[in-house]
Amino acid sequence: MSLSYVYAFAMVMGFALAGASGSLFRLITKRRISFELVGAARPVLFLGVVVLMFAGPAVIMRNAIRGRLIENRALYWLALSTLIAGMWSFLAGITLINGLNGWHG
């Protein structure tokens, strides 16, 4: 298997983890995950910070797409946000893969 397939798999796993953790946070707390957790209660704040470690790419992409469609931000902001979210999801995917590998192997 080519190394580029492993990198792509890690990135896809990171994006899937971002979406799943963001959805789980919304299911538990009834509020959308966001980088703005200022007024949240302590349990929600703690859970939000932990979840944001993995859900960050989904939040970045949601904000970038909304900024492009609603606020008509420049296209390079969307491209830069996609690059940042892609790198973040790659690192989260590598963390997930290494964690699963250590768990079973």
In 3D, which of 14, 48, 10, 9 has the Cα closest to residue 28? 48
The pTM for the full model equals 0.84
Tell me the pLDDT of the chain (105 aa) as tens digits. 688 998 999 999 999 999 999 999 899 888 888 888 777 788 888 888 888 999 999 999 999 999 999 999 999 999 999 999 999 999 999 999 888 877 765
End-to-end CA distance of the chain: 20
CA distance 57 to 12: 11
Domain boundaries, the chain: 3-104
What would the two tokens of residue 75 be?
Answer: 């296209």
d(CA 43, CA 46): 5
- In this structure, what DSSP letter does residue 34 have? -
